[in-house]
Amino acid sequence: MYKKTCTSQVSIAYSDNNFNFFYLGKVFMELIKGISFGGFLVSLLFFNVLVSTVFGIGVNWGTQATHPLPAPTVVKMLKDNGFEKVKLFDADPTILNALGKSGLQVMVGIPNDMLASLAGSVQAAENWVAQNVSSHINSNGVDIRYVAVGNEPFLSTYNGTFLATTYPALQNIQSALIKAGLANRVKVTIPLNADVYGSSSQNPSDGDFRSDIHPLMLEIVKFLSDNGAPFTVNIYPFISLYNDPNFPTDYAFFNGYSTPINDNGRIYDNVFDANLDTLIWSLQKNGYGNLSIIIGEIGWPTDGDRNANLQNAQRFNQGFMARYIKGTGTPMRPGKSDAYLFGLIDEDAKSIQPGNFERHWGIFYFDGTAKYQFNLGTSSKGLVPASNVRYLAKKWCIFSPSASLDDPQVSPSVAYACANADCTSLGYGTSCGNLDARGNISYAFNSYFQTQNQADTACKFPSISAITTQDPSPTQGDCKFRIMIQTTSSGGGGGSSSSSSSRSSSGVGFLKKPVSMMLFMFMFFFTIL
Ligand SMILES: *[C@@H]1O[C@H](CO)[C@@H](O)[C@H](O)[C@H]1NC(C)=O
Ligand SMILES: *[C@@H]1O[C@H](CO)[C@@H](O)[C@H](O)[C@H]1NC(C)=O
Ligand SMILES: *[C@@H]1O[C@H](CO)[C@@H](O)[C@H](O)[C@H]1NC(C)=O
Ligand SMILES: *[C@@H]1O[C@H](CO)[C@@H](O)[C@H](O)[C@H]1NC(C)=O
């Protein structure tokens, strides 16, 4: 038996045990289940064009990074790798400008915190569409196909915060698209976590929408159907495994499972299919069995948890892609689908509230280098990395070889570094989990130093840190002491120290202050520990 962690979650049993099958929703920990598939029920013509070509895979482009690659570099990566579609989480004009005339189909997003204003005012929705859709289509040549209204707004962890505003916002955006004359080419949708539905048994055929939002879901589904718009769902088998130590590992992947579920003759040997078909049953039961479904997010992280590593991510993503390329559907909906991988690039500034893995969902590292062999079916070369990436200088900040592990400055310094940079590759089962104590400290110091653009002041932990030009990364394994890339937003001065003064606004100032301040702050923290 797994433990229920939230009331809305529904369990599904497989074979003789009860397990929660599904997770759903990477952004917060929730257990649930979901489903999905791609589809378009727009005009028949549009539909025919799409099905007559291969459904190209899409990818999510998130930007919560301290050192994002320049937008034109990312757009080139998308094209070099044969992605046909990209899903954004907002409507950043820099990104949309870079996507102009790229040929890529774009889903723009409306963040949850904008839903209330868009729900309350048709004019606000018209302004949003004018500024963030019409202008980019008309003057920039951006091929916007979808507007994602909110992002997983009905997650149980939001306590209903967006329940009242999401559907009105959806309606207002649709009205605004109609008024702008774009309703035939741009479709609305709501990327939902798979916790909006569940099954009362092990079988997808017992699926239905979550009881607390059932009437709302039906209104939304009807609205989507009436407007030829798709249902978008995010499905995360990784979270099933993360949340439940008894979850059968093989069931999370696509290589077969020894005791598959038999749902009245439909056989499920992976949780993705079971989850997606639970959605399809939920739709069918309520009269919308033909609604198009897009998988808004699907992927596997590579670090930050014992199940998050390069091998598992490769296994999951390649397993998914192989089915995608072949057009294998689910037992309930065989055939081609529409999906967006999550995600393109690691984001080192994401909240780690859901878990340390949260910063490691990329197919590519933060600098646009490929993590593993991955065949997207678009090129024989495998993944194509970002080109012309400019790095900071080849230097690292480490725990000084002459410093003692017993130095009282060590704990607060590490805590400070990790709180202001990224230490999610440290810990049990992670890429740098086998470092010794000195290596651990060095990793933390370097992470902070790089995040601060190698400012000299960012390697001045009181007499226990030192700068080195020797790569401290272990020679074996996947643990890498990284060097950050130059970014326009953070100064990007070619790695020379002369430019560091111009970067003080990016946070270098932290350590210019007497370290006693940070000692004070973090002593407290460590006393608790
Ligand atoms: C367009 O989108 C951006 C980013 O999501 C947002 O900040 C801006 O307010 C939007 N424009 C309007 C008129 O709402
Ligand atoms: C939801 O409610 C829980 C428990 O009452 C609370 O801890 C949490 O902060 C709330 N979350 C949000 C997003 O309001
Ligand atoms: C669903 O689509 C199938 C195949 O196109 C069609 O035969 C069926 O009538 C449709 N059902 C509904 C409820 O629209
Ligand atoms: C290194 O740091 C990680 C994460 O803080 C910790 O779990 C591990 O025990 C540390 N290893 C050593 C040898 O100190």
For ligand 4, the distance from its centroid to the CA atom of residue 436, given in whole angstroms, is: 7
pLDDT at 488 (0 to 100) = 72
Task: Give a yes or no: residue 489 inside a domain.
Answer: yes
Of 503, 302, 515, 490, nearest in space to 414 by CA: 515
For ligand 4, the distance from its centroid to the CA atom of residue 437, given in whole angstroms, is: 6
Tell me, yes or no, whether 438 and 350 share the same domain.
no
Tell me which amino acid residue 61 is: W
Give every CB contact of residue 491 below 8 A, 6+ residues apart in sequence.
453, 499, 500, 502, 503, 506
3-state helix, strand, coil split of the chain in percent (to 5) is 40, 15, 50
For ligand 4, the distance from its centroid to the CA atom of residue 350, given in whole angstroms, is: 22
Tell me, yes or no, whether 332 and 452 share the same domain.
no
Q: What is the DSSP string of 188-199?
A: EE-EEEGGGEEE
Task: Give a yes or no: residue 18 inside a domain.
Answer: no
Sign of CA dihedral 110, 111, 112, 117: negative
C-alpha 176, offset from chain centre:
28
pLDDT at 495 (0 to 100) = 33
Measured from the Cα of 414, ligand 4's closest atom is: 5
Task: Give a yes or no: residue 391 inside a domain.
Answer: no
Tell me, yes or no, whether 407 and 303 share the same domain.
no
How would you write the pLDDT of the chain (529 residues) with one tens digit per residue?
232 222 222 333 222 222 333 433 333 333 222 222 333 333 333 433 333 344 689 999 999 999 999 999 999 999 999 999 999 999 999 999 999 999 999 999 999 999 999 999 999 999 999 999 999 999 999 999 999 999 999 998 899 999 999 999 999 999 999 999 999 999 999 999 999 999 999 899 999 999 999 999 999 999 999 999 999 999 999 999 999 999 999 999 999 999 999 999 999 999 999 999 999 999 999 999 999 999 999 999 999 999 999 999 999 999 999 999 999 999 999 998 899 999 999 999 999 999 999 999 999 999 999 999 999 988 777 899 999 999 999 999 999 999 999 999 999 999 999 999 999 999 999 999 999 999 999 999 999 999 999 999 999 999 999 999 999 999 999 999 999 999 875 433 333 333 322 222 232 223 333 333 333 333 333 333 3
* Atom 13 in ligand 2: residue holding the nearest Cα: 158
- Can you give the CATH number for the domain in which 495 is found? 1.20.58
- Position of tokens 């086998």? 434
For ligand 1, the distance from its centroid to the CA atom of residue 219, given in whole angstroms, is: 26
Tell me, yes or no, whether 177 and 76 share the same domain.
yes
Let me know how many helices (H) and strands (E) the chain has, helices first. 15, 17
Tell me, yes or no, whether 403 and 268 share the same domain.
no
* Atom 7 in ligand 2: residue holding the nearest Cα: 157
Counting ligand 3 atoms within 8 A of each CB, the residue from 226, 284, 290, 333 with the most, and so the one to mutate, is 290
Measured from the Cα of 288, ligand 3's closest atom is: 13
pLDDT at 381 (0 to 100) = 75
Tell me, yes or no, whether 403 and 467 share the same domain.
yes
Task: Give a yes or no: residue 511 inside a domain.
Answer: yes
Tell me, yes or no, whether 100 and 154 share the same domain.
yes
Task: Give a yes or no: residue 27 inside a domain.
Answer: no
3-state class (DSSP) for residue 108: strand
For ligand 4, the distance from its centroid to the CA atom of residue 236, given in whole angstroms, is: 28
Query: Last residue of a domain, which of 336, 359, 382?
Result: 359
Measured from the Cα of 287, ligand 3's closest atom is: 13
Counting ligand 4 atoms within 8 A of each CB, the residue from 416, 426, 436, 447 with the most, and so the one to mutate, is 426
Ligand nearest to the CA of 304: 4
Tell me, yes or no, whether 149 and 207 share the same domain.
yes
Question: Containing domain of residue 130, as a range?
Answer: 34-359
- Can you give the CATH number for the domain in which 45 is found? 3.20.20.80
* Atom 4 in ligand 2: residue holding the nearest Cα: 159
Query: Does the CB atom of residue 290 touch ligand 3 within 6 A?
Result: yes
Tell me, yes or no, whether 336 and 404 share the same domain.
no
Task: Return the C-alpha torsion angle 243, 247, 251, 255, nearest 10.
Answer: 90
pLDDT at 515 (0 to 100) = 34
* Atom 3 in ligand 3: residue holding the nearest Cα: 290
Tell me, yes or no, whether 325 and 415 share the same domain.
no
pLDDT at 110 (0 to 100) = 98
Task: Give a yes or no: residue 22 inside a domain.
Answer: no
Ligand nearest to the CA of 160: 2
Q: How many structural domains are present in the chain? A: 2
Measured from the Cα of 440, ligand 4's closest atom is: 1
Catalytic residues: 152, 297
CA distances from 512 to 129, 287, 335, 437 (A): 45, 63, 59, 26
Q: Is the CB of residue 270 less than 8 Å from the CB of residue 333?
A: no
Tell me, yes or no, whether 352 and 411 share the same domain.
no
For ligand 4, the distance from its centroid to the CA atom of residue 242, given in whole angstroms, is: 20
Of 355, 349, 259, 380, nearest in space to 67 by CA: 349
Task: Give a yes or no: residue 142 inside a domain.
Answer: yes
For ligand 2, the distance from its centroid to the CA atom of residue 161, given in whole angstroms, is: 10
Query: Last residue of a domain, which of 339, 359, 379?
Result: 359
Measured from the Cα of 159, ligand 2's closest atom is: 1
Tell me, yes or no, whether 149 and 279 share the same domain.
yes
Counting ligand 2 atoms within 8 A of each CB, the residue from 8, 159, 212 with the most, and so the one to mutate, is 159
Counting ligand 1 atoms within 8 A of each CB, the residue from 94, 106, 128 with the most, and so the one to mutate, is 128
Report the greatest alpha carbon distance in the chain: 72
Task: Tokens for 132, please give them.
Answer: 């963030």
* Atom 14 in ligand 4: residue holding the nearest Cα: 437
Query: Does the CB atom of residue 470 touch ligand 2 within 6 A?
Result: no
Of 330, 276, 328, 377, nearest in space to 57 by CA: 377
Q: What is the DSSP string of 331-399?
A: SSS-S---EEES-SB--TTS--SS-GGGG---SB-TTS-B-S----SS-TT-PPPPSS--B--S-EEEE
Task: Give a yes or no: residue 6 inside a domain.
Answer: no
